[in-house]
Amino acid sequence: MLVLITAMFLFRSNKKTYTVEDFEDNKEILDKYRKKCENGEIDGDSLNCQNSHKAMIGLSRPTNTGKWTD
């Protein structure tokens, strides 16, 4: 039973974890993950949701020069 639980965890967590900097550098990935986090497709407590949220906050600060533009 423990082997099954461990295997499920490993396969489930096999997705890439993006850093705040990854999200700040790539608006498409940021937008994609923000949508998934907001609609519940990804657990809001996941590291990707936390990092994408931090990136959004960082990019919205008036003193930030921004890494991408619309």
Q: What is the mean pLDDT of residues 22-37?
A: 96
Domain assignment present for residue 11? The answer is no
Q: What's the structural domain count of the chain?
A: 1
Q: How far apart are CA 31 and CA 11, in angstroms?
A: 25
pLDDT of residue 15: 81
Determine which of 2-6, 20-24, 50-54 has the lowest per-residue pLDDT on average.
Answer: 2-6
Give the per-residue SS3 of 16-57: CCCCHHHHHHCHHHHHHHHHHHHCCCCCCCCHHHHHHHHHHH
Q: How far apart are CA 17 and CA 12, in angstroms?
A: 12
pLDDT of residue 61: 79
Domain assignment present for residue 32? The answer is yes
Inform me whether the pLDDT recorded for 49 exceeds 80: yes
Scan for tokens 């974890």, then name that residue: 17
Q: Which domain does 46 fall in, by range?
A: 16-60
Pick the more confident residue, 65 or 63. 63
pTM for the full model?
0.69
Domain assignment present for residue 65? The answer is no
